[in-house]
Structure 1
């Protein structure tokens, strides 16, 4: 297995595009009556990309003992928690505004949110920040990766991925599509949903590492076309294939892996490379910040505040989220992660380098 870490710029862009498409699913009416799309599949792409990126960054180190499973999980917590915790006050205020709960109930929910314990007795697993359900399952998949998946053969991993896909497919048949796992009633299927895409991602990276395919020509054009394909796919109306989850599985089992495989074989240059890197840099801040902001605006409208809701105003909010995400990434998330990694790393110099190169991890 290759000891050097690759940096796949096109994967950064795909992650950023997926985060943007998720935004339009959670606008809470700020953009007007938008028809629901299959952008919920962007979460499956996140899981697939995580499998690729974490295998690229950590599999060799875990296999050789350079990092322990506990050390790996600490790195994941440092990567995901700072911005997640930053969103909790917004989510707490919004939730309290909507539901008018007493202080003791809110304190209990806040403690569960801080400890990342899902609320299976409520309408949302994580009522203060709905999309963070995927982080819970990604942390779970990372734990399994560090202690088990990293030790399995490619064939065993593929078997696990297909088995998990079969379990998830059963849930999708019941629900009508693959948009499951975030609801308490379908909570159990969240584990299989992340496992099949995450395991496929590890398989993709291992296959890439074995074959070491040549870099494709015209990387800028191919990368842009792949981003366009992702926008087109996740923009398809959810009603088109509702009740026919075979479409969702075709996308997750065939189309997304093909897009990621092609993206791994490209290299970008110039302004395209810069744009792709920024999309990756902003992807997580956008993903974790957008829902509490839209939820707060929705709560204020419900309480009688005369806040405009139109496509034009909604786009202003979306642009504002981009700006806030950039500011938070540069001045909050990255400095905090750098400081935390220096505090826990035995080699501070290597920790600084790891933070500067780990935007997508």
Structure 2
């Protein structure tokens, strides 16, 4: 393992933890038919939805960290887009086909255009119906709403690269326009991710103005902090600062109108405190993580995409086994996350990795448009990449 890989193990571990948190959030459905189960589901498992905020923060962090070798050329921007596309899209396309089959019991979904169209829109990361389900966009593949934001952020990041050394200035201006100026002009500033006034003329335009984009910006700020010279040498001071900020946030949670949901008015706030604390610990070599969490980080994208469908298939299998309802719920609650992790490992090893490598090689070998400066197109960045949602 290279020194750069070793140095970023803590990031990989956090991504694995984030993915498993999302798995547990979706596991809570089997607990909702009893009062005790509801208490566990709503007060313990639901807040694990902050795994999504953590994913977004990590993405912003890695985009800054893995583009430190940016040389100002348009070819570099193309390679950036190609790598991100190869990382995100191929496995998502495979899972989309699987989703059609699982959701519609075989080939029926492929033969009905009204059913298949929302899945095709999802492949283009177009929010299907922002008005129907708030931030979830009523996506055919449910978890794809996060990929819509992820790919929007990648596109903005790549587009700003075209401005060379002014890229971060242009990026700051864009985010100031979309996250502050436009919302203020449209009727008042609001950090609630599920309560933004909708843009009626474009489904995609609802992404730039949503406050959850602040998650990526926090991650970018953390990336800058990680790369700068500032550091706190005593880990005790870092721990004390994290504890103090976290305690202040919890004590004032209701007073300042925080909510049990995504975004800066909700789970993103504690995530930001903890992540920035991890950054400061990592700078002094104090961010130690167990090996299993690093392994979980490697399979995190596969786990995130397939776990819902593993849950559904397992439910259909277990439903045919004679047992009382209480036992049925316990078996599902325990077995579904385990099955999801096993299937994610198989998917990662035999589908995600080879398919992503093949598509990446194909895209990087494509003949680039003439307007691109391709002099640097054959030079690959030597920095290790840990990318993806």
Normalising by structure 1, report the TM-score: 0.72
Identify the residue that residue 112 of structure 2 maps to in structure 1: 103
- Indicate the larger mover: 32-41 or 86-95: 32-41
Identify the residue that residue 309 of structure 2 maps to in structure 1: 292
Q: Is the 8 A contact 1:9 1:273 kept in 2?
A: no
Q: Secondary structure at the match of 2:299?
A: helix
Alignment of 1:178-189 (within 5 A): 188=206
Q: Is the 8 A contact 1:49 1:198 kept in 2?
A: yes
Instruction: Report deviation, 1:55.
Output: 0.8
Counterpart of 2:271 (choices 236, 256, 260) is 256
Number of residue equivalences: 332
Identify the residue that residue 282 of structure 1 maps to in structure 2: 299
Cα deviation, 1:174-226, whole Å, max 9, x if unaligned, reads 75xx9x99xx99982674234211122112212332225367669xxx8xxx9
Alignment of 1:41-190 (within 5 A): 41-61=50-70, 64-65=72-73, 67-97=75-105, 103-120=112-129, 125=137, 127-148=139-160, 151-153=166-168, 157=172, 160=175, 164=179, 170=190, 172=192, 175=195, 188=206
Inter-CA distance 263–68: structure 2 relative to 1 (3 Å threshold): same
Inter-CA distance 269–332: structure 2 relative to 1 (3 Å threshold): farther
Normalising by structure 2, report the TM-score: 0.67
Cα separation, 1, equivalents of 2:287 and 2:155: 37
Instruction: Report deviation, 1:353.
Output: 6.9
Instruction: Report deviation, 1:271.
Output: 9.1
Alignment of 1:195-214 (within 5 A): 195-213=213-231
Asked if 1:336 corresponds to 2:336, the answer is: no
Identify the residue that residue 8 of structure 1 maps to in structure 2: 8
Inter-CA distance 110–289: structure 2 relative to 1 (3 Å threshold): same
Counterpart of 1:40 (choices 49, 53, 64) is 49
Inter-CA distance 250–170: structure 2 relative to 1 (3 Å threshold): closer
| Structure 1 residues without counterparts, runs of 5 or longer | 231-235
| Structure 2 residues without counterparts, runs of 5 or longer | 366-375
Q: Is the 8 A contact 1:19 1:42 kept in 2?
A: yes
Identify the residue that residue 245 of structure 1 maps to in structure 2: 258
Inter-CA distance 30–136: structure 2 relative to 1 (3 Å threshold): same
Q: Is the 8 A contact 2:60 2:219 kept in 1?
A: yes
Q: Secondary structure at the match of 1:80?
A: helix
Cα deviation, 1:133-182, whole Å, max 9, x if unaligned, reads 1111110011111223883557983994798389597262875xx9x99x
Whichever of the two has the greater Rg, that structure is 2
Inter-CA distance 94–243: structure 2 relative to 1 (3 Å threshold): farther
